[in-house]
């Protein structure tokens, strides 16, 4: 299979491109037009600004931060740039995941391609070669304040690019010194940084953005899987469908809410399970029921249900804000991905160029977007967990056996701890949702007197998304088990075609537990992987069509 080539030009990078580079190993190239423009800008810099008569330009021929009044002589600029990388190579904690570092590298290349950084093309080519050879710097995950960008993570990336002896990279399944990896890949073991190179490399909230782009992508996949798990639970509990009608949605016509309701209707279309005749049948898990009466109507008939609980009935009102938040966040990230974010920036002016200080390195847009995403996804986890709790509780699961035990209760315990594992993750999510973007402390001698905390905001949000993937996997596992058990008595009342496809996709991943208890850890892990990669949703949509209406249609 041919590896896709993604050409970066500074203006047209998409989230799916970042994912393909970070996770799929897509080949990266620099657009020819961008290369020509970068060469022209760099030529001007080298012919006009590398001399004693050049005006003072921050971080170009001056020190940084509180040292900005110190002029750097032209002969010392290269030494200064290398020193910047070494002095900023802080950081602690576990290494960032390789996919985050690869995303960070690709995003930095695209920012440079906008031609506002003045970096040498050789630096860009080195980053691209590292991506294409699979050479990934080891970058500690903690220690950035998100202004002046993610200095420490980017400095550690830059040290690897330079082949500094202290730098380590992952290459071909092994951690090794960066210079050795370059040699094995047929690249120059080391590389010097010159005027503006290091300043451009380390300045910008690009680690934050890398975490954010991947988290937002995964959250959208997650919402699809959570919609499947909800439909399966709805049918397992024989819920009401009228609350999802479009006339109800139009009375309060939020776009996300309408789109979620439409997706639910699509999944349960044709369902006989969510009907009053099906609700009248007794299931063999009903406490005290003679097994011979399983699958027969209640006598006297049950009164019709009036209003399901919120975790079923209010899903459009809870999932809808998540979908709308994702659309908003995607807009923020699309702009960030195609922006110049270092400082100072270079612009054409008259017959030459001007260098202007600004603040695009500040990560507040990313931080606030990630706060919103963490809150939205944490709430998604909470409502999924409440449905899971109902599935195992005989007081509110409408005749399903306690803990969804198929046989020999007491000897077998069923799914109670599987469900409470999900609750534990929801509790963790709740603790992670404090507003990171509102937390600001001055840094670097008060020259950075307001910081964004964007890297923590985005890294924390990744954890919330990962936790919620497992919470949704739990609901999928329990809902499939509930449907398996109910099918013994309700086979004459089929579920909707979309629900059936989702159920089948779950069962293609893990088998039903219709005998004794088994090791469930692997079941959860396998389903979580299919939630994460979106394959459950893809399999379901192949049977019932796309779940999501276009935003403009809602």
SS3 content of the chain, % helix, strand, coil (to 5): 55, 10, 35
What domains can be seen in the chain, in order of their start residue?
5-203 (1.10.275.10), 213-319+377-553 (1.20.200.10)
Check pLDDT > 70 for residue 445. no
Q: Could you tell me if 107 and 4 are in contact, meaning their C-beta atoms sit under 8 angstroms apart? A: no
Tokens 């030009």 — which residue? 9
Of the candidates 58, 328, 353, 365, the residue annotated as catalytic is: 58
The mean per-residue pLDDT over the stretch 63-80 comes to 91
Contacts of 438-446 with CB under 8 Å at 24 or more apart are 438/371, 441/145, 443/145, 443/147, 444/65, 444/66, 445/65, 445/66
Residue-level pLDDT at 450:
80
Tokens of 226: 């959570």
CA 539/CA 554 separation, integer angstroms:
24
pLDDT at residue 324, as a whole number: 98
Nearest to 451 by CA among 146, 129, 98, 89: 146
| % the chain with pLDDT above 70 | 98
Q: Is the pLDDT of residue 554 over 70?
A: no
Quote the distance between the C-alpha of residue 172 and its chain's center.
25
Cβ distance 333 to 213 under 8 Å? yes
Q: Is the pLDDT of residue 196 over 80?
A: yes
Cα dist. 226→381, 469, 479, 496 in Å?
A: 9, 9, 12, 17
Q: Is the pLDDT of residue 80 over 60?
A: yes
147-176 residue pLDDT tens: 888 999 999 999 999 999 999 999 999 999
pLDDT, tens digit, 9 for 90 and up, residues 19-31: 999 999 999 999 9
Q: What is the pLDDT of residue 70?
A: 92
58 catalytic residue (yes or no)? yes
For β-strands 5-8 and 27-30, DSSP reports them as: parallel
Q: Tokens at residue 88, please?
A: 């900023």
User: How many CA atoms within 13 Å lie on the side-chain side of 373?
Assistant: 38
Q: Which residue has the higher pLDDT, 301 or 338?
A: 338
User: Any idea which residue has 């590292």 for tokens?
Assistant: 130
Give the model's pLDDT for residue 473.
Answer: 99
Residue 431: burial class (beta carbons within 10 Å; 0-12, 13-18, 19+)? exposed
287 — pLDDT class (breaks 50, 70, 90): confident
Q: How confident is the model at residue 525 (pLDDT cuts 50, 70, 90)?
A: very high
Mean pLDDT value across the chain? 95
- The per-residue pLDDT for 284 is 87
pLDDT digits (tens, 9 = 90+) for 117-152: 999 999 999 999 999 999 999 999 999 988 888 999
Nearest to 374 by CA among 289, 431, 449: 431
CA–CA distances in Å: residue 504 to residues 228, 280, 341, 473: 11, 26, 47, 14
345: enclosing H helix or E strand:
strand 345-349
| Residues 41 and 34: beta-carbon distance below 8 Å | no
Q: What is the pLDDT of residue 265?
A: 98
Q: Helices (H) and strands (E) in the chain — how many of each? A: 20, 9
Which residues, 6 or more positions from 328, have their beta carbon under 8 angstroms from its beta carbon? 369, 372
What contacts 172, CB < 8 A, 6 or more positions away? Answer: 134, 184
Element (H, E) at 396: none
Confidence tier at 551 by pLDDT (50, 70, 90): low
Per-residue exposure over 80-93, b if at least 16 CB sit within 10 Å of its own CB, e if not: bbbebbeebbebee
Candidates 82, 66, 216; CA nearest to 148 is 66
CA distance 67 to 65: 5
Q: Give the whole-angstrom CA distance, residue 384 versus residue 275.
A: 23
For 36, other C-beta atoms within 10 Å of its C-beta total: 12
C-alpha closest to that of 135 among 186, 84, 207: 186
pLDDT at 43: 96
Q: What three-state secondary structure class fits 108? A: helix
52 vs 113: which has the higher pLDDT: 113
pLDDT for the residue numbered 291: 85
Lowest mean pLDDT, pick from 66-70, 381-385, 537-541: 66-70
What's the average model confidence in pLDDT over 375-398?
A: 97
Strands (DSSP E) found in 387-521: none
Q: Which of 71, 219, 130, 144 is nearest to 443 (CA)?
A: 144
Burial degree of 29 (CB within 10 A; 0-12, 13-18, 19+): middle
Over residues 390-439, the pLDDT tens digits come to: 999 999 999 999 999 999 999 999 999 999 999 999 999 999 999 999 88
């Amino acid at each position: 299979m041919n590896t896709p080539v993604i050409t970066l030009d500074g203006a047209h990078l998409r989230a799916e491109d970042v994912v393909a580079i970070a996770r799929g190993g897509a080949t990266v190239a620099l657009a020819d037009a961008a290369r020509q423009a970068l060469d022209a800008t760099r030529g001007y810099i080298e012919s006009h600004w590398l001399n004693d008569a050049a005006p003072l330009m921050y971080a170009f021929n001056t020190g940084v931060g509180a040292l900005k009044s110190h002029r750097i002589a032209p002969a010392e600029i290269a030494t200064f740039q290398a020193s910047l990388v070494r002095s900023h190579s802080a950081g602690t904690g576990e290494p960032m995941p390789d996919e985050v570092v690869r995303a960070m590298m690709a995003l930095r290349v695209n920012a440079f391609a906008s031609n506002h950084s003045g970096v040498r093309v050789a630096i860009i080519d080195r980053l691209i070669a590292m991506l294409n050879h699979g050479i990934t710097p080891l970058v500690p995950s903690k220690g950035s304040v998100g202004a002046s960008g993610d200095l420490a993570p980017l400095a550690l990336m830059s040290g690897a690019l330079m082949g500094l002896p202290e730098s380590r990279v992952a290459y071909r399944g092994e951690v090794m010194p960066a210079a050795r990896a370059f040699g094995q890949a047929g690249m120059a073991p080391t590389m010097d940084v010159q005027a503006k190179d290091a300043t451009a490399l380390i300045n910008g909230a690009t680690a934050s953005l890398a975490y954010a782009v991947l988290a937002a992508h995964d959250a959208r996949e997650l919402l699809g899987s959570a919609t499947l798990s909800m439909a399966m639970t709805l049918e397992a509990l024989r819920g009401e469908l009228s609350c999802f009608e479009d006339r109800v949605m139009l009375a309060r016509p939020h776009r996300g809410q309408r789109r979620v309701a439409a997706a639910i209707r699509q999944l349960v279309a044709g369902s006989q399970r969510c009907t009053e005749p099906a609700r009248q049948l007794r299931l063999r898990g009903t406490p005290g029921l003679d097994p011979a009466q399983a699958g027969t109507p209640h006598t006297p008939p049950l009164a019709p249900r009036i209003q399901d609980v919120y975790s079923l009935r209010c899903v459009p009102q809870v999932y809808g804000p998540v979908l709308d938040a994702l659309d908003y966040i995607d807009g923020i990230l699309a702009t960030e991905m195609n922006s110049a974010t270092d400082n100072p920036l270079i612009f054409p002016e008259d017959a030459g160029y001007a260098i202007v200080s600004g603040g695009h390195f500040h990560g507040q847009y990313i931080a606030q977007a990630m706060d919103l995403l963490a809150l939205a996804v944490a709430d998604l986890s909470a409502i999924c967990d409440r449905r899971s709790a109902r599935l195992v509780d005989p007081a509110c699961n409408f005749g399903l056996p306690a803990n969804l035990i198929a046989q020999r209760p007491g000897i077998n315990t069923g799914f109670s701890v599987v469900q409470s594992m999900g609750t534990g993750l929801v509790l963790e999510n709740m603790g992670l949702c404090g507003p990171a973007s509102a937390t600001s402390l001055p840094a670097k001698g008060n020259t950075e007197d307001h910081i964004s905390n964007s890297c923590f905001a985005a890294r924390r949000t990744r954890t919330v998304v990962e936790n919620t993937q497992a919470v949704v996997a739990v609901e999928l596992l329990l809902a499939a088990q509930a449907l398996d058990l109910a099918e013994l008595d309700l086979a004459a009342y089929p579920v909707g075609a979309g629900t059936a496809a989702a159920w089948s996709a779950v069962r293609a991943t893990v088998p039903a537990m219709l005998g004794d208890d088994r090791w469930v850890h692997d079941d959860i892990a396998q389903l979580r992987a299919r939630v994460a990669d979106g394959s459950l949703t893809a399999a379901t949509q192949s049977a019932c069509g796309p779940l999501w209406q276009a935003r403009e249609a809602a």
